[in-house]
Chain A
Amino acid sequence: MAKSDEMNEKWRERLDILKDVPPRDAQRAAESRAVYLERARQLAETVSGSPKRRPLTKGMWIPLIFWKRKERSLMVNPILALVLVLSLVFGGGGATVAAAQSSLPDQPLYGLKLWSEDARLSFTNQPENGWQVALQFAERRIAEIRAMIEAGKQPDEALQTRYEAQLEQALRYAQNLPDEQALRALEQIRQRLRLQEEQMSQLPANQAVVVQTRKMIQQRLEWVENGLQEPQQFRQRMQQRQLPNEVPPAQPGGGKPWTDETPTPGSGYGPGGAGTGNPWTDETPTPGSGYGPGGEGTGNPWTDETPTPGSGYGPGGEGSGNPWTDETPTPGSGYGPGGEGSGNPWTDETPTPGSGYGPGGEGSGNPWTDETPTPGSGYGQPGGPGDTGGGGGKKP
């Protein structure tokens, strides 16, 4: 240690000759000082009074990027960050959705395209522009079918289904409009449909989708043209189509029953008239409500199931016989034999007096009971053909 100090001392002495410095030029020193102070004055004017607003930057660069910058309002950075995040989320997502808009069904972004269409349609509540949006999307389907065929690909049937649904939606929006606007909308839809039809006609007819779509367009065109003539009818038709499961189209020969459920015994359903369905009400008849059978019955339209004995189903019209069972009817089950308008044995039991059941059509000849009707029970003479139930025997 002592040796080291000694050596240091030796070097200190040796370097001492450099220590001698000529005095500084006073004038130059003064000039330099003036320049420095002038610069200080300039900077002092552009700087805020509080040193807190000028935080030390050293070693803090990561938070500084987002937060501590000199001379900036504290609120600016969070707002900037928020704007940036929002624009990334919505702008970025929007860019992808926008990119998806030109995709074809066999491309990865197609799902996104359909999703964005659904989203837009579900946000469009107003019929004023809803029909245009839906029609525009339907047109995209046509364009997709064309593009697929032109690219030598097989268009999917789902395309046609989707086209149909979107066109349907456009029509529904249109019929919800006030008369004048509805007509204008229908007119435009007609023009567009014609255009679409023309486009489809240019495609090769050997594609099933093309053929079906064309056919559908032609049918819709017909509707729209009818709608232009008679808007009220068009409206009704569209409203009926709106509830396809609830109101099935009536078919001759008593197809669908009024209810799928097994009728309650004694409910006394009468068969419909010739293909007219149930003319009285849409509602399930209450037991004992006195429905009379129609004229020429059609068999048992109400249920496919074996009726419970005593349920009192009436057979249909001419010669329908007993359609429900092959077995010999239990005595008192009330199944009537065939023959014209066999009548309706609604119940095994002795009808309550005054229930007022009327027999079926012509000569039904099937009594509801083997027993002699109690006087005053109201079972009267057979009703006329297709009448709504016979003797009115009201409750006394």
Chain B
Amino acid sequence: MGKLYFKMKMMPVTDLLLWRHNNSVIDEEKRLLEGARRFDLDCLAAIYDRYSDGLYGYVVRLLGNADLAEECVSETFARFLQALHNGGGPRNHLKAYLYRIAHNWVTDQFRRQPTTMELSENLGGDENDDADGALQLEQEKQRLRAALQALTPDQRQVILLRFFEGWENDQIAAAVEKPVGAVKALQHRAVASLRRWLGEDEREWKHGEE
């Protein structure tokens, strides 16, 4: 209790609000999870509505393919149901759990088809008048994805959750099932790897230009 009081006292007001928000999120997650373990269909539906869009976006960013992303979301929730049915499934950190399943699916996907990271046409949501600009943007996206693909699965997951989803380190730690210190180290090495990958790439590109 003293520890909690100290934590609250030391927090800026915005952080305190965020902390309270997080706590209520955790409580809500817990409630949903308990319902899901009883196979309460309302709770199961609520979980889907709450997380499926986020998961879809997460996978699309990684794979750049809407079909694969949709498939991944279906598969993630199917595995979740099966785990609950088998008496398994998460006790807490439901969101982290779902992202971990999705990420494992993506990793498997990379393993199965390591070189077929092509840009799909069905991503053409940005109808840019400037065709050149659009092309350059797509090329940049492709390079970034290729760089992400070069990371280890854990590094990639940390980068995605941190930079795209905006998660805090402790949330990421729950998703990758590692201590916070290890998450920081993973992030550090991931950034170094990206820089090396894209930096060399840029140098080559520049050399080619000259």
Interface residue ranges, A against B (CB under 8 Å) = 4, 7-8, 11-12, 14-25, 28-29, 32-33, 35-37, 39-41, 43-44, 46-47, 49, 51, 54-58, 70
8 Å CB contacts to A: which residues of B54-85?
Answer: 56-57, 60-61, 66, 70, 73-74, 77-78, 81-82, 84-85
Chain A CB within 8 A of B6 CB = no
Binding stretch for chain A, among B9-17, B24-32, B35-43, B95-103: B35-43
* B88 touching A18, Cβ below 8 Å: no
* B163 touching A12, Cβ below 8 Å: yes
* B144 touching A58, Cβ below 8 Å: no
* B37 touching A8, Cβ below 8 Å: no
Chain A CB within 8 A of B167 CB = no
Which of B78, B124, B195 touches A36 (beta carbons < 8 Å)? B78
* B70 touching A28, Cβ below 8 Å: yes
Mostly helix, strand, loop or mixed at chain B's interface?
helix
From residue A52, how far is it (CB to closest CB) to chain B in Å? 10
Most chain A C-beta atoms within 10 Å of own C-beta, residue among B39, B159, B194:
B39
In the bound assembly, the distance between CA atoms of A12 and B158 in angstroms comes to 12
Which of A7, A25, A41, A56 touches B70 (beta carbons < 8 Å)? A25
Q: A32-B70, A37-B45 are in contact. Are A11 and B85 (CB under 8 A)?
A: no
Which of B52, B66, B194 touches A25 (beta carbons < 8 Å)? B66
In the bound assembly, the distance between CA atoms of A58 and B194 in angstroms comes to 35
Most chain B C-beta atoms within 10 Å of own C-beta, residue among A11, A19, A21, A43:
A21
Q: Which residues of A contact B60 (CB under 8 A)?
A: 21-22
From residue B99, how far is it (CB to closest CB) to chain A in Å? 15
Which of A8, A28, A41 touches B41 (beta carbons < 8 Å)? A41
In the bound assembly, the distance between CA atoms of A252 and B145 in angstroms comes to 122
Q: A44-B39, A56-B88 are in contact. Are A15 and B44 (CB under 8 A)?
A: no
Which of B37, B41, B123, B144 touches A17 (beta carbons < 8 Å)? B144
Chain A CB within 8 A of B8 CB = no
In the bound assembly, the distance between CA atoms of A39 and B78 in angstroms comes to 8
- Which single residue of chain A is at the shortest CB-CB distance from B45? A37
**15 sampled A-B residue pairs with Cβ under 8 A:** A11-B195, A12-B163, A15-B159, A15-B163, A17-B144, A18-B141, A18-B145, A19-B164, A21-B56, A22-B60, A33-B48, A37-B41, A37-B44, A49-B38, A57-B86
Q: Which residues of B contact A8 (CB under 8 A)?
A: 163, 187, 191
* B191 touching A11, Cβ below 8 Å: yes
- Which single residue of chain A is at the shortest CB-CB distance from B159? A15
Q: Which residues of B contact A18 (CB under 8 A)?
A: 61, 141, 144-145, 164
Counting contact residues on chain B (CB < 8 A from A), the size range is 35 or more
Q: Which residues of A contact B125 (CB under 8 A)?
A: 22-23
* A36 touching B81, Cβ below 8 Å: yes
Which of A22, A40, A58 touches B123 (beta carbons < 8 Å)? A22
Which of A12, A32, A35, A47 touches B85 (beta carbons < 8 Å)? A47
Chain A CB within 8 A of B188 CB = yes
Q: Which residues of B contact A4 (CB under 8 A)?
A: 188
Q: Which residues of B contact A28 (CB under 8 A)?
A: 70
From residue B185, how far is it (CB to closest CB) to chain A in Å? 12
Which of A11, A43, A44, A49 touches B163 (beta carbons < 8 Å)? A11
* A57 touching B159, Cβ below 8 Å: no
* A70 touching B86, Cβ below 8 Å: yes
From residue A27, how far is it (CB to closest CB) to chain B in Å? 11
* B86 touching A21, Cβ below 8 Å: no
Chain A CB within 8 A of B91 CB = yes
Q: Which residues of A contact B37 (CB under 8 A)?
A: 51, 54
From residue B35, how far is it (CB to closest CB) to chain A in Å? 11
Which of B52, B78, B140, B144 touches A33 (beta carbons < 8 Å)? B52
Q: Which residues of A contact B86 (CB under 8 A)?
A: 54, 57, 70
8 Å CB contacts to A: which residues of B115-166?
Answer: 123-126, 137, 140-141, 144-145, 159, 163-164
* B41 touching A40, Cβ below 8 Å: yes
Q: Which residues of B contact A33 (CB under 8 A)?
A: 45, 48-49, 52
Q: Which residues of B contact A51 (CB under 8 A)?
A: 37-38, 87
Chain A CB within 8 A of B53 CB = yes
* B144 touching A15, Cβ below 8 Å: yes
* B78 touching A43, Cβ below 8 Å: no
Q: Which residues of B contact A12 (CB under 8 A)?
A: 163
- Which single residue of chain A is at the shortest CB-CB distance from B57? A21
In the bound assembly, the distance between CA atoms of A55 and B7 in angstroms comes to 35
* A44 touching B88, Cβ below 8 Å: no
A-B contact sample (7 more), CB < 8 A, given A37-B41, A39-B81: A7-B195, A18-B141, A23-B125, A33-B52, A37-B48, A40-B81, A44-B41
Q: Which residues of B contact A39 (CB under 8 A)?
A: 78, 81
Q: Which residues of B contact A57 (CB under 8 A)?
A: 86-88
B84-114, CB under 8 A of A: which get 1 and which 0? 1111100100000000000000000000000
Which of B74, B87, B123, B141 touches A55 (beta carbons < 8 Å)? B87
